[in-house]
Structures are given as C-alpha cells and as structure tokens.
Amino acid sequence: MTKDALIVIDVQNDFCPGGALAVDAGDEILPIVNKLILRFDRVILTQDWHPAQHSSFASSHPGRAPFDTIAMPYGEQTLWPDHCVQGSVGAEFHPDLHWTKAQLVIRKGFRPHIDSYSAFFENDRRTPTGLAGYLRERGITHVTFVGLATDFCVAYSALDAVSQGFTAEVLMDACRGIDLAGSMKIMTDRMLKAGVTLI
C-alpha cells in the first residue's frame, strides 16, 4: 500500500510579495496549500535557513549582483539577494500558512559555504538533509510537493525524491516559480523526463 506525505517547500515571507526574494504571486498558493495540509495525514515543511553572509548571497561576493552565476567548488551557483536569514522575519513561514500540523520541519542552506535547493541534498548533490531516511523509516513511499519556488527548490526536491526511490508529484497550482533564464521550462521538462507527475 502506498503511504503518502505532503511536503510544503519554503512558504516563507521572503519568497512572498514584499519579501527579499519574492516569487510573483507566491502568496496566492496559500489557500490551496492550507486545504492540502488539512487533507494529508503526514505533513512536512521545509524552511530555507541561511546564516548571514551566506555564500549564495551576491552581497558576499564583491562586484557581483543578484542573479549572476559563479563557479563554486561544487559547481555553478546562482547568486541571490540576501534572503531567509536565520531568525529573521523573512525566514518565518508566511503568517497565513497553517503550519501547526507539520510533523517535521527540514531546514536547509544552513552551511555557510554551500547552498541547498533540494529538501534531500545540498547543492553538492551529496550531503543529505536526512529527509530520505526519515521518509523510509516512516514507510512513506509517495510524496506530493507544493510551495516555492517551482523551478528551484520544488523541482530539485522532486527530482531527488525520484532518484531516492520515491514516487513524486508536483501540484503546479499550488506552486509559483522564479523563471530565471528559462528555468521554468527547463525544470518542468527535467521533472517530466525523470518521471515526476505534474498535476
């Protein structure tokens, strides 16, 4: 029997209108996300959680601007405006998110020298967050993703879910994207090719 879980990705103030790395209409997903939280028995949240001066912030690289890309030891990295700094209001869940039912909050991006989009692995694609082990220990085989941003944290999480042996679906109506250099199309194509169900 499949046992499923809802994984709500990064529904935080900084990714919503008015936030430091606002995703267009990011807050529009809240009513749907809250309905889904009610419907699922197993709910997990992720929270982007960077130390100040994180290496993914353009401000940590003199002469660089947000949305530039740079080479990191682990590969190419997009530089972002300062966002989701640990303990800041921007890092808090959106005030309308019904988060109390969540059984686990996975924090990611807390290592100063490495970014993390996926809920499963850091951007070196090797350092685990522990989520796969948690899901396996609970016997969860199918994961449903919603949240922000479709073409970054949601997409990388869904791709890793499949690579870790889970079946994965993304409810596109309950996600919004950044769409940087065609990333929306690139990442939806990658998800489809990997066998992620897009609904």
Site residues, ligand VGL (CB under 6 A) = 10, 15, 48, 80, 117, 148-149, 152-153
The nearer residue to ligand VGL, 80 or 166, going by C-beta atoms, is 80
Whether 84 is catalytic: no
User: What token pair was written down for 45?
Assistant: 């949240």
Distances (CA, A) of 151 to 30, 86, 100, 155, 183: 18, 23, 26, 5, 6
Q: 7 in helix, strand or coil?
A: strand
The nearer residue to ligand VGL, 39 or 157, going by C-beta atoms, is 157
We find the least distance from the C-beta atom of residue 182 to ligand VGL, in angstroms, to be 16
Residue 153 binding partner per list ligand VGL, Zn ion, none, with a CB distance cut-off of 5 to 8 Å that depends on partner kind: ligand VGL
Q: Is there a catalytic annotation at residue 14? A: no
99 interface partner picked from ligand VGL, Zn ion, none, CB below 5 to 8 A per type: none
In the annotation, is 108 catalytic?
Answer: yes
Taking the complex as a whole, how short is the minimal distance between the CB of residue 117 and ligand VGL, in angstroms? Answer: 6
Which residues have C-beta within 8 Å of that of residue 35, sequence separation ≥ 6?
none
Of 48-56, 64-72, 118-126, 140-148: span binding Zn ion (CB under 5 A): 48-56
Told to check if 48 binds Zn ion by CB under 5 A, we report: yes
Contact call for residue 160 and Zn ion (CB under 5 A): no
Contacts for 91 with CB less than 8 Å, ≥ 6 apart: 12, 13, 14, 47, 48, 49, 50, 84, 85
Options 67-75, 104-112, 121-129, 161-169: segment touching Zn ion (CB under 5 A):
104-112
Helix crossing, 183-194 with 155-163: angle to 10°? Answer: 20
**Residue 149: which of Zn ion, ligand VGL, none does it interact with, CB under 5 to 8 A by kind?**
ligand VGL
Residue 64 tokens read as 């660089």
Tell me which of 84, 108, 151, 175 is the catalytic residue: 108
Cβ burial 108-146 (10 Å sphere, 16+ → b, else e): bbbbeebbbbbbbbbbeeeeebebbeebeeeebeebbbb
Provide the CA 144 distance to its chain's centre, in angstroms: 13
For residues 3 and 47, which CB has a smaller minimum distance to ligand VGL in the complex?
A: 47
Residues annotated catalytic, as ranges: 10, 108, 153
Q: Which residues bind Zn ion (CB under 5 A)?
A: 48, 109
